[in-house]
Structure 1
């Protein structure tokens, strides 16, 4: 049987394909842009026929129909590896649940049997003449998930770009149960614009950047602001090695700043594991031989990052305390995002001989009533999730400066951290440090 005949025999409507799901099943939507919109809608229609269906996903970019059509969660339970703004709404309503993980280990949860998959549903690019479907924008731990699945349904979408990979970048028609053709829009997540504070923070980091470095950028306004600074600078021959590729990198490629010529691994190739951004970014990636996707277990492994040597990692955080503990994923007990790969990159960048990791945040924020609150706390007491422990706290950045915490004692840390706090809170933080016995009597006020 040739691949086109096999494709034709396995072609189904979305409604027919989801009949494979049985009560009690665990269904996996993979992550990010692999979200199967047509299959999700078809599965949601079976709300009254099924019981106790668990669904896995990460970073939803549109309303999820198994939740929208099951407002009381009688049938569907939604489980999230990482959270978007939409996901936060579901979490706040008690209609979804977060699954803590390190991105570099996510695939192992499937491979070691910790995570069960009865039916995998993923969006892929159209089949090529060899019978292969590119995973496109999501490499991550998709192969481990598919290897675990009892049944596989592909949602074939012409909008999914074909992206070449180091490994685990495609699936063959012979390995799937059925295929569904879809013209749903591929999830997009254009990066938000940079605020004035984002630009101030980016300016604090910029002096640490140099020619030939390999760069990992997180997502958000501050990395975008930094990308704008780099694009307008004299920096050259930068490399890309990142868990998540966003529009910030598109600007750097288009301005000629990223060449990947100086990289110690995959010279000449930019490497990512998942991609979320604009349609323009997806068009740039389609059949682009300068870019490789790779599994998260490789991209985020500290040993891989160590070998890149001249490595700069820049990510965002939410709050920190005077001990150097960093929260990047919750506000108290409210889940905001997830650990993701932050600790992976903090660990690996420190191992690199010339590596520097930066975690950045505004020094303060205003609540809905306009009151100012410090993002630097005396200590965490409200259930905030510690993403990066104090033993690994790297270069911490606010709009007021940079504090390198590596190797500092408790009193040195407190002093360095208070130096980058909002001026309105420095005196109260000093008083707290004194009460907590991490402030020397001889120390000067800041």
Structure 2
């Protein structure tokens, strides 16, 4: 299909222009919603053209030109990176992973609001974030009636289109034309007190429309592009990842034997990265068949599982694929179209659905403390890494919440298990399982003191285990209280020691 035929609406063909011309239509000081989720489906041309415009204004000594950028989740250097580099972003939400953007946040040059991904749409609809002035949305095509064929992510696009006063569309011919029909955009959500149950009882259920509705009078520009999504090279699982995966798979088998999980498990939610892919690889190599996924992103490992039959259905809001994964998807899209459903993120991450389906949530951590509190966002308590993303949506509401990490970082200078986390994203009440390459701690039904023994003995690296137990024992006998024993003067001393001496 040619690029020209991707714009099948005659009325919108008259609004085709260059990215540079479209960027001129974006004024300073506004809130801009942009498509994109985990490096998929983000606008490829307009952000770069806007960044170049800002660069020229800066060089000419003009007043600072900044906008607030709202997305689905992380995007790519062509969006976050280029705009952050020219200091063009005033406020960023709800998630990012760009190193330049991260630097601007941590040096105070950019404001950042870290939000549970399931809540962003409701925040916008409720007016908590202010008014959305303009949206820049990538699509795979425009139909004759002006409705939009979503591309490789749906994210918050439905909400941005509904909320924005003006819309710029990027029609990307690089996106596979056969994505059409893979999406399920639900128009039945409402704000309290008018909410109704979302009628999904199986990850394969479709309850919406395959297209995005878009009022044509809002569209002020259409830009044609042909550029690939950001791809993330897939790393073969290392020994640490394989050990973590082995602990989780053994746990699943025990739960099946005890009758607490069905042999098909429950719908899987998996964060992005090397460790989750190792778990997916292990599941694919095991005896499992007809598993399902109700998750945010589809990674290489899930494509393999769908192809082998280990995974029957995958429901998500976006892809996050390596170059090899993208080629595999494009070459076999007819096989995958019947097994993959892409939804908007306020459905893919909805707490109601995670609870109803009994999702098995597997997400990463930066550090866990001896009582099971999790820090998944801040390095040494103050420096933002990426954001909470959707982990909280699934951890609090899933049937099982599993958090994983290597037991050490920085060549052993940092312990992932600490006396007290320096920032709390997931409290002990939402954390059921903690796993490192050392072992698995099952925290269900345990008191804080019991959890401390389980985590220290099973998850901490042997180099740090004696010091953690010494801290716990001294806290236990400090006379300050025995329910959750702490030495307040020492609780964060491990982080202070790393900051001052380079090791914990």
Q: Taking structure 1 as the reference length, what is the TM-score of the superposition?
A: 0.86
CA offset at residue 407 of structure 1?
Answer: 2.7
Structure 1 range deviating more: 287-296 or 12-21: 287-296
**2:284 aligned with 1:231, yes or no?**
yes
Deviations 1:2-60 (A, max 9, x none): 96321221212112222221232222223332321210122123211773422334313
CA offset at residue 411 of structure 1?
Answer: 1.1
Task: Name the CA distance, whole Å, in 2 between partners of 1:306 and 1:205.
Answer: 21
Provide the residue aligned with 2:236 in structure 1.
193
Provide the residue aligned with 1:166 in structure 2.
184
Q: Specify which of 342, 352, 374 is matched with residue 391 of structure 2.
A: 342
Task: Name the CA distance, whole Å, in 1 between partners of 2:431 and 2:89.
Answer: 39
Deviations 1:220-242 (A, max 9, x none): 11111112212222211111110
Task: Name the CA distance, whole Å, in 1 between partners of 2:437 and 2:477.
Answer: 24
Provide the residue aligned with 1:329 in structure 2.
377
Structure 1 range deviating more: 415-424 or 28-37: 28-37
Q: Is the 8 A contact 1:67 1:78 kept in 2?
A: no
After superposition, residues 245-324 of structure 1 pair within 5 angstroms as 245-260=298-313, 270-278=314-322, 279-280=326-327, 282-283=329-330, 284=332, 288-309=337-358, 311-324=359-372
Q: Is the 8 A contact 1:61 1:189 kept in 2?
A: no
Provide the residue aligned with 2:150 in structure 1.
135
Q: 1:148 to 1:327 in 2, by over 3 A?
A: same
Q: Is the 8 A contact 1:10 1:178 kept in 2?
A: yes
**2:125 aligned with 1:84, yes or no?**
no
Q: 1:132 to 1:190 in 2, by over 3 A?
A: farther
Q: 1:4 to 1:343 in 2, by over 3 A?
A: closer
Task: Name the CA distance, whole Å, in 2 between partners of 1:387 and 1:95.
Answer: 23
**2:399 aligned with 1:389, yes or no?**
no
Provide the residue aligned with 1:212 in structure 2.
264
**2:11 aligned with 1:37, yes or no?**
no
Task: Name the CA distance, whole Å, in 2 between partners of 1:338 and 1:318.
Answer: 11
Task: Name the CA distance, whole Å, in 1 between partners of 2:12 and 2:185.
Answer: 24
Q: 1:193 to 1:81 in 2, by over 3 A?
A: farther
Q: 1:118 to 1:281 in 2, by over 3 A?
A: farther
Q: Is the 8 A contact 1:134 1:171 kept in 2?
A: no
CA offset at residue 246 of structure 1?
Answer: 1.5
Q: Is the 8 A contact 1:392 1:406 kept in 2?
A: no
Runs of at least 5 residues in structure 2 that lack an aligned partner in the other structure: 1-6, 187-210, 257-262, 483-504
Provide the residue aligned with 1:13 in structure 2.
18
Task: Name the CA distance, whole Å, in 1 between partners of 2:443 and 2:75.
Answer: 35
**2:467 aligned with 1:428, yes or no?**
yes
Q: Is the 8 A contact 2:133 2:166 kept in 1?
A: yes
Q: Aligned Cα RMSD in Å?
A: 2.4
CA offset at residue 108 of structure 1?
Answer: 0.9
Provide the residue aligned with 2:201 in structure 1.
none
CA offset at residue 395 of structure 1?
Answer: 0.8
Provide the residue aligned with 2:416 in structure 1.
375
CA offset at residue 137 of structure 1?
Answer: 2.0
SS of residue matched to 1:153:
strand
Task: Name the CA distance, whole Å, in 2 between partners of 1:159 and 1:171.
Answer: 22
